[in-house]
């Protein structure tokens, strides 16, 4: 019997873990998943881990266990180079830095390494701002927030947080931080919210530019009602240890500074010679998700740049798009493996716009579904929040199967009842 095709998936986030799981179960290829971390978390939850209103331990998926259950192999390591000629990749294993990099050969390489916030080279941001692009960073933010909160409780002094970026990440983080402070205030410090200065800074004319204007306006009203200072049309020109300098000459001072604006692909993609890259550094792929200059390398999720040929629009960098691409690719590659092999033609991917949801902690939420916008008001806010959760549950359903996914959901609901609503430990 011919040797199985070697498929290496790098990045076990929203897209990559779904692809490795789907192809591992198929059994027709030798599948390896590589990730720099040892466990997967659903990135759209990072702001809740950062604020301490959700616990990451319960939401982690252990890559080794997932690999064992679904017949693929897991290789820990950070991708550092791709040798396209030899079809090999090198991974640095953080726990063994003195060891030579792990080296993997592939017939098909699938890159799904996500994206990061983009500071556009703004001076001082790298040194003086936190980001929440992965679990380590979200936990770092939480540790700082907790330290400042405990100090504010002890010394009865103020606490100031400024978040740059009025997209969904910044808006949701602002609401979640406010929610965490409100809960903490119930522990014997009712004046704590009055001592919090929370500022959301957006350079564009409105919050949530990807949403209809009335959602932007309603989100700004809700945040203002919660006491968040919303500064639209404010461009940050530099960051320092005390806050932000603005282009118009103003300043916003803050003890905790977070950069949650812009999107760019990981730098390592620039080190792969000869591939076409977009303005934000993503790998340009065709509708079959193969990179335009190397059919043995595919990319999907945030690190890919794809224009949907049907709509002529760019596929957005969202979990929804990453999930749809992953599901499509699993079906397409299973078909290819059954017919001729991984180099066979793959059917085109078409993005289905299923709308966007933004959830402001327990305060409110809005969603757009195709032509419709819903949300606003407590009840509808709850339905938008449930819709927000649905994409995550769908992802878990695909990873675990119906029984385990339902048990996990139930365990999460029980945990919500038995655990404190905010993490201060």
Q: State in angstroms the smallest separation of the CB of 356 from ligand FAD.
A: 7
Q: State in angstroms the smallest separation of the CB of 45 from ligand FAD.
A: 7
78 near ligand FAD, rule: CB under 6 A: yes
Output the residue with the shortest Cβ distance to ligand FAD.
Answer: 13
Q: Which stretch binds ligand FAD (CB under 6 A): 132-140, 187-195, 281-289, 339-347?
A: 132-140
Q: What is the DSSP letter of 149?
A: H
Tell me the torsion sign for CA atoms 288, 285, 263, 88: positive
- In the stretch 88-127, what mask flags binding to ligand FAD with x, by CB under 6 A? ------------------------xxx-------------
Binding ligand FAD by CB under 6 A: which of 5, 9, 12, 324? 12
Residue indicated by tokens 């602002």: 174
Pairwise CA distance, residues 46 & 56, whole Å: 9
Q: Which stretch binds ligand FAD (CB under 6 A): 36-44, 307-315, 331-339, 346-354?
A: 36-44
- Let me know if 52 is exposed, middle or buried by CB neighbors in 10 A (0-12, 13-18, 19+): buried
37 near ligand FAD, rule: CB under 6 A: yes
Pairwise CA distance, residues 12 & 346, whole Å: 22
CB 66 within 8 A of CB 35: no
* Tokens encoding 349: 């991917």
Q: State in angstroms the smallest separation of the CB of 316 from ligand FAD.
A: 8
170 near ligand FAD, rule: CB under 6 A: no
CB 109 within 8 A of CB 12: no
* Tokens encoding 117: 């916030």
Q: Binders of ligand FAD among 316-335, rule CB under 6 A? A: 317-320, 322
166 near ligand FAD, rule: CB under 6 A: no
365 near ligand FAD, rule: CB under 6 A: no
Contacts (Cβ under 8 Å, ≥6 apart) of 31: 7, 9, 20, 23, 24, 71, 72, 73
Nearest CA-CA partner of 131 in 47, 69, 55: 47
Q: Binders of ligand FAD among 39-68, rule CB under 6 A? A: 43-44, 46-47
132 near ligand FAD, rule: CB under 6 A: yes
Contacts (Cβ under 8 Å, ≥6 apart) of 15: 112, 300, 301, 322, 323, 325, 326
Rounded to 10 deg, the angle between the 378-400 and 14-26 helix axes is: 40
Tell me the site size for ligand FAD, rule CB under 6 A: 35
Binding ligand FAD by CB under 6 A: which of 14, 129, 163, 315? 14
Q: State in angstroms the smallest separation of the CB of 358 from ligand FAD.
A: 7
Q: Which stretch binds ligand FAD (CB under 6 A): 21-29, 130-138, 185-193, 290-298?
A: 130-138
Nearest CA-CA partner of 57 in 70, 75, 71, 45: 45
22 near ligand FAD, rule: CB under 6 A: no
Rounded to 10 deg, the angle between the 168-185 and 213-225 helix axes is: 20
Residues that bind ligand FAD (CB under 6 A): 10-16, 34-37, 43-44, 46-47, 78-79, 112-114, 132-134, 168-169, 266, 268, 301-303, 317-320, 322
């Amino acid at each position: 019997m011919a040797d199985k095709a070697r498929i290496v998936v790098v990045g076990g986030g929203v897209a990559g873990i779904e692809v490795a799981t789907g192809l591992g179960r198929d059994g027709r290829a030798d599948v390896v998943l590589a990730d720099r971390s040892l466990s997967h978390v659903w990135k759209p939850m990072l702001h809740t881990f950062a604020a301490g209103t959700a616990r990451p331990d319960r939401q982690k998926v252990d890559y080794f266990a997932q690999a064992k259950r679904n017949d693929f192999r897991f290789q820990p390591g950070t991708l550092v180079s791709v040798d396209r000629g030899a079809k090999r990749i090198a991974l640095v294993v953080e726990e063994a830095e003195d060891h030579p990099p792990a080296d993997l050969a592939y017939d098909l390489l699938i890159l799904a390494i996500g994206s990061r916030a983009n500071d556009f080279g703004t001076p001082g941001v790298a040194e003086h701002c936190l980001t929440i692009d992965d679990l380590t960073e979200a936990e770092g933010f939480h540790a700082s927030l907790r330290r400042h909160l405990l100090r504010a409780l002890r010394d009865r002094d103020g606490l100031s947080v400024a978040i740059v970026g009025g997209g969904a990440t910044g808006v949701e983080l602002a609401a979640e931080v406010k929610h965490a402070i409100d809960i903490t205030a119930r522990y014997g410090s009712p004046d704590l919210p009055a001592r919090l200065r929370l500022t959301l800074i957006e350079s564009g004319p409105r919050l949530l530019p990807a949403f209809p204007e009335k959602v932007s306006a309603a989100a700004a009203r809700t945040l203002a009602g919660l006491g968040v200072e919303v500064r639209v049309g404010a461009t940050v020109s530099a960051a320092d240890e005390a806050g932000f300098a603005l282009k118009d000459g103003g300043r916003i001072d803050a003890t905790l500074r977070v950069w949650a604006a812009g999107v760019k692909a990981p730098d390592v993609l620039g080190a792969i010679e000869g591939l076409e890259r977009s303005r934000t550094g993503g790998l340009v792929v065709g509708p079959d998700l193969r990179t335009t200059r190397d059919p043995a390398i595919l990319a999907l999720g945030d690190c890919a740049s794809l224009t949907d040929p049907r709509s002529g629009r760019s596929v957005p960098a969202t979990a929804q798009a990453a999930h749809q691409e992953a599901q499509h690719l699993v079906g397409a590659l299973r078909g290819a493996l059954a017919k001729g092999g991984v180099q066979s033609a793959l059917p085109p991917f078409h993005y289905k716009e299923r709308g966007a949801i933004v959830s402001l902690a327990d305060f409110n939420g809005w969603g757009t579904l195709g032509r419709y916008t819903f949300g606003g008001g407590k009840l509808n806010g709850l339905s938008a929040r449930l819709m927000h959760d649905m994409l995550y549950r769908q992802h878990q359903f695909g990873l675990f199967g119906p029984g385990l996914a339902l048990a996990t959901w139930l365990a999460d609901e029980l945990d919500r009842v038995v655990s404190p609503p905010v993490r201060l430990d």
